[in-house]
Amino acid sequence: MNQLQEPELESSKENPIWAAIKETASLLVMAIVLAWIIYTFVVQTFWIPTGSMERTIMPGDRVLVAKFYYRFREPKPGDIFVFKSPEDIGNSRPDLIKRIVATGGMKIEERNGQLYINNKLQDEPYTLPDRPGADFGPYKVPKNKLFAMGDNRGNSKDSRWIGPINKKAVIGRAFFTYWPPQRFGILR
């Protein structure tokens, strides 16, 4: 009768300290590569320094931005998103966070501080009102562009000043506030 024998584990002749160092180094390299992939293609964190998005996002909040989101969906009005500013400030183009209020082909107008899209008054309970008498437009958003405004309309340098945002400048969709703990939650 033939008996099957299981192979025995071979004991390593390598120094256990050296083996632990190699194992730790390979785990560290894998963690760095994974973190880089996540940061580059999946989710990035942003610190918010200004009040241009107040009531929704406060100065000092930290938010998560899904960088992959617009690879699968088109940007739409109401989305909060991060993009590269079309203007140089100093020697760089900072990342900005705003709300999309209109996309290519839509007509936007601000009358006496109230927003109209395609001549329809918008219900925006999340905004802080603009100053009375604030007017802009009418303006038709060009194809492949986005019109962005801050929720704090009277304190936001947005598409009314910097122009429409090219879709190629979009970094991703902001979806979650994770700091400070009392503001933890989904962005709407």
Contacting residues for 128 by C-beta, under 8 A, at least 6 apart = 54, 55, 151, 152, 153, 154, 155
The one catalytic residue among 26, 52, 85, 156 = 52
Q: Is 26 a catalytic residue?
A: no
Q: How far is CA 169 from the centre of its chain?
A: 12
Q: Which of 32, 4, 45, 9 is nearest to 174 (CA)?
A: 45
First to last CA, the chain: 72
| Catalytic residue positions, numbered | 52
